[in-house]
Amino acid sequence: MDFFSKKKLSILNWEKDLSTFSKSANINLHNCNIHINSARTFFTNDMPVPSGYFESEYETSDKEIYQKYEVEITPREYDFSAIDIKIDRNNLFATLILKEGLFIDSSEVYKMQFIDYVLAKLVEQNVILHNSKFLKATLVHILNDFGDLCVLTSTLNYEILRSKASYKQRGLLNLLEEAWVKKNNADSIDNALYAANEGEEVAIFFKDDEIINGRNLKGEFMNMQAIASRETTKETKEKEGAIYANPPSIDENIDKEETDRKIIYKAKSKGLVDFQDGLKVISIATFETVSNKTGSILGGLEKGIEVDVECSDNSKDAIQNGAIIEADVVNITGNVGENALIRSNNLNIKGQTHQSSTIYANEAFINIHKGTLYAKTEANVEYLELGRIFTQDANILQLNGGKVVAKRVVVSRLRNNCNIYFSESIHLKLIDGVENKLEFNIMANIDEKPHFLGLLAKDTLLKEHVKSRVNYCKVLITKAKKLRPVIETLKPLIAKSKAEASPLDPEVKKMLQYYAALLKQVHLQKDTAIKLQDERIQNANLASSIEGELLNASITTESSWRDNNEILLHRHFPTEVKSSILLEDSDMLDIELDKDYQILKVSPE
């Protein structure tokens, strides 16, 4: 962390003016927090826009505008390099990207600097700021959703700005698809079935093009008709001509409301909406197979949709290559194929999963698992063969060559070349293999991991801040010591000035003010360093308490051990430490940790 006094700057050309400032002040902008105090808007003739311009004329006027900024530059306390802003090619909407590994703190300073960073990134991409109050509220809401401090374990996307300019072409707009694409920051998927609640709007048929001209995020006036014409490919036109040129037919489970300009379609009952041959609602979601051809099933996780897939043909996968299922309850009889993706709350697979498949669930039961499973609460697997499980509670009948990361693990039969990471307990009923690694690791508690990573990140941050302030304090003290002899020689002049009530020489006065400012800054930095050190101690106590849960962790068995099975301990705080023991053929032994985190062999009673 660099230290320098607050700098105020007027900026017209953001990149150029900041670069000039950085060079002249010898300050690295990567270490700077840039707070925008104000953004003033002008027409290109340098006349300021009138009061109320953005509420009245902005969206309908095509006059070119630009902005000038008054900023304050101060030392940045946090690393925001894992934050990015993506703007679409027409500059109509902006997406905030929070990447895996970003440290999020709950402090007010973090929130302020987070907002400053995002606004600066937007201005860097020439976005016109005119509703900063709303944008700041949006960013605060995003941060508040995280609650306490944490480190992100996956990348998250948020749409934070959208222009009023838009275009809707004549034809059918799939509202469910539009919402899914926006939520997942993904491309649309051909032939997909979308979940809908009773009474939910599922589509709109526009009788004519619906064009709203206006400004994009960069303040450029957009002719949306021209953009619509340019971006409609021949393939899209052919598709619309064949399917969407006229209002689609509907089944008895679709209702419609018609106006002069459009027709709104609503689901009369909960189910999956099929858009391929008219609009119809599938109320009972039972399928022979799910594929990209029959249509992935999307958006059903939060809408209570239950999906049953029963494949009677053993030569086919029940969930085929690249297919996606998102549903509250998923029951599959058959195999899950290559690159398949399943998101559910309750999952039951009577079959096997391909090694490239990915599954998310709250609770899951799988016969034979070879892919990757993220189960929020519990995973029950009969045979884990080279697959991966991340969960709180893992119950496995036979484990062979797989990886398990869980708080608690029960294995009925442990075969060969398995890796188990746990934070509370492992119970092994039969040890029937070698080359297995069982590791005590608090990170195996997937619920606690983001918060624990946050504590580690904050410890590193506080350590650096304390060190920086102590070093800065030393620099200030050195400067003060060099000035002290000069101040001593000035004391007679100061005394004489007081006695005679005469003004001090301006240079002498300036010297005294500088010396007083140095001493004041020394005390300020010292007090701040002490406060930060106290905060670090509290943070360290929390981290130690969480990792201390490992002292109650254990490995218990109902079987004797085989040769070449390794027990490991991986500690992360206060420093990273790894230790291990190698087990030989032996009678039944339980494994625990003593108060000094040494691995102990314990004979069961």
Q: Measured between alpha carbons, how far is 426 from 408 in angstroms, rounded to an integer?
A: 6
Per-residue pLDDT, 240 = 45
Q: Map out the domains of the chain as residue ranges.
A: 7-162, 166-192+203-267, 284-385, 450-605
Q: Whose structure tokens read 């053929």?
A: 585
- The contacts of residue 340 (CB under 8 Å, 6+ apart) are 317, 319, 320, 321, 322, 323, 324, 325, 353, 354, 357, 358
Position 406 scores a pLDDT of: 99
User: Strand pairing partners for 87?
Assistant: 94
212, 167 in Cβ contact below 8 A? yes
CA within 13 Å, CB half, 103: 20
State what percent of residues in the chain have pLDDT above 70.
97
Task: Write the secondary structure of 201-263 as one string of H (helix), E (strand) and C (coil).
Answer: EEEEEECCCEEECEECCCCCEECHHHHHHHHCCHHHHHHHHHHHCCCCCECCCEEEEECCCEE
- How confident is the model over 555-602, as pLDDT tens digits? 999 999 988 999 999 999 999 999 999 998 887 899 999 999 999 999
Of the CA atoms within 13 Å of residue 542, those in its CB half-sphere come to 17
Q: Within 10 Å of residue 32's Cβ, how many Cβ atoms? A: 22
pTM recorded for the entire structure? 0.89
Split at pLDDT 50, 70, 90, the class of 169 is confident
Q: Which two tokens stand for residue 12?
A: 């017209």
- Each residue's pLDDT tens digit, 197-254: 999 999 999 998 889 999 999 999 998 888 777 766 544 544 444 455 789 999 999 9
CA dist 111 and 385 (Å) reads 45
Using one digit for the tens of pLDDT, what is the confidence trace for 295-307?
999 999 999 999 9
Alpha-carbon distance 111 to 90, whole Å?
30
**CB neighbours (10 Å) of residue 285?**
21
- Whole-number mean pLDDT of the chain? 93
Q: Under a CB-based contact definition with an 8 Å cutoff, are residues 314 and 329 in contact? A: no
Q: In three state form, how does the secondary structure of 350-417 look?
A: EEEECCCCEEEEEEEEEEEECCEEEEEEEEEEEEEECCEEEEEEEEEEEEECCEEEEEEEEEEEECCC
Asked if 214 and 163 touch (Cβ cutoff 8 Å), the reply is yes
Q: What is the pLDDT of residue 231?
A: 66
Which class for 167: exposed (0-12), middle (13-18), buried (19 or more C-beta within 10 A)? Answer: buried
Measured CA distances, 40 to 48, 125, 134, 546 (Å): 8, 17, 17, 49
